[in-house]
Amino acid sequence: MKKLFTSLLSVSALSLALAGCGSADQAQQPEGNAAGEAPKGAPAKLVISTWGFSEDFFRKEVYEPFEKEHNVEIVLEIGNNAERLNKIRQGNSAVDLIYLSDYYAQQGIDDGLFETIDRSRIPNLNEVYDIAKAPLGEEYGPAYTIGQFGIAYNPNLIQSEIKSWKDLWSADLTGKLTLPNITSTTGPMILDAASQVSGSATFNEDQAFAKMKEINSGVVKYYDKTSEYVNMFSQEEIAVGPIMEMYFKDIQAAVPEAKFVSPEEGGYAVMNTVNIVKGSKNKQLAEDFINYQLSKEVQEKAAKAKVDSPVNTTLTLTEEEAKGITYGEETISKLRKLDMKAVNEQSKAWIDRWNREIIQ
C-alpha cells in the first residue's frame, strides 16, 4: 500500500511538471485555440429558416466554414416561403435569420416580424448592386441574390422569335402558352407586363386585366409551381411562357434547343432577401452571417455552382460560368422592380378580380 501511494505521488508530480513546461504565450491562449481564432467554448446556435434546395452545397460551402470560423452551430428550419413566415407569425419558432423572396419579406416587415439591421456591421454591402442593398428599405435585410423573370420558348414548336413581352399576345401562340397564376410570386409581374403591353407608362389595373382577358383563351394552364412548367415544356404541352432564369437549366436539360429571353422592355427582378427575426438573441452573429453571405467568396462559389445568381460586383465570371444565372451590370440595370409594399396591399383585390374575370 505504501509503495502504491508513493507511485501515485510520483505520477501527480510528473503531471504538474509537464503542465508547467508550456511557454508563457501558450498559457495565455484560450483553451483549444490557435492565434487569431475565436475562443472554443460551447458553440452558439444560429437558427436559419430557408427553403432547403441545394442543401448539400450550402452545408459544405457556406454553413460549415462559417461554423468553424465563428464557433457556431447552424440549425436549419426548412419549408416554403408561406409556411416558414406563418411559423414566425405564430411565435412557434426560434429562428434568428430568415431567407424569403421579397414578396414574402415585405409581408414580414408589414407585420413587424423583423429586427432592423446595423449596416455598419455589414461592410460587404458596399460591394453589391444598388438594387440589392436595401430592396425593402434601409432598416431591413439586403437581397443576397437576384433572379430574372423572363421568357423561355421552344424554337422547334413556334415559328416566330420571341423578343418582347408583347410577343406573348401573338395569335400564333394560342394553345402553346403558359403563364404564372396570380397567387404565385411572379403572378403580379405578368399582370404588370400586361399593363406595359397595353401601352400604359405606369401600372394601370383596368388595362392590365383587359389585356389578360385578351390572352386568356390561348393559355394552356396558369401554373403555380415551376415543376409544372418544366413538365409541360418537356412534354411539349406548351412551347413558351415566362419563367425565372434560374430554372432554365432544368428546361434545357429536357429540351436542349430551348432559349431564354430577357425581353427588350426588361425582365423582372426576383430578389431573395435575408432578414433577422425580431427577438433573436444572436443579432450580431446574424449580421456577421449576412456580411459573409454577401462576400465575394460565397457569392462566387454559389454562382459557379449555378445555385444563386450573384449580387457582389467584384467577382468575374466567364461566359460559360455565367450561363443560366442572372449576371452582369448590363443585365441587372435593365430589370424592372415591383413595389412589393404596393403589391401586398393590392394582392387580395387582384386575386379576387382574377378569379372573377380570368379563371371562370
Angle 290-291-292 from CA coordinates, rounded to 5°: 90
Per-chain mean pLDDT for the chain: 89
Q: Where would I find the beta strands (DSSP E) of the chain?
A: 44-50, 72-78, 97-101, 143-153, 177-180, 219-223, 240-244, 259-261, 268-276
- For 148-269+339-357, CATH number? 3.40.190.10
Closest by Cα among 221, 264, 260, 258 to 244: 260
Task: Establish whether domains 44-146+270-329 and 148-269+339-357 are of one fold.
Answer: yes
- pLDDT band for 39, please (50, 70, 90 cuts): low
pLDDT tens for 217-271 read 999 999 998 999 999 999 999 999 999 998 998 999 999 999 999 999 999 999 9
Closest by Cα among 243, 247, 281, 249 to 261: 243
- pLDDT band for 17, please (50, 70, 90 cuts): very low
How would you classify the pairing of strands 268-276 and 143-153? antiparallel
pLDDT tens for 165-209 read 999 999 999 999 999 999 998 999 999 999 999 999 999 999 999
Q: For the chain, what are the domain ranges?
A: 44-146+270-329, 148-269+339-357
* Cβ atoms 103, 185 nearer than 8 A: yes
Superfamily designation of domain 44-146+270-329: Periplasmic binding protein-like II (3.40.190.10)
Instruction: Note the pTM of the prediction, 2 decimals.
Output: 0.82
- State the pLDDT at residue 66: 98
pLDDT tens for 75-108 read 999 999 999 999 999 988 899 999 999 999 999 9
CA separation for the pair 146, 144 (Å, rounded): 7
pLDDT of residue 42 exceeding 90? no
- State the pLDDT at residue 219: 97
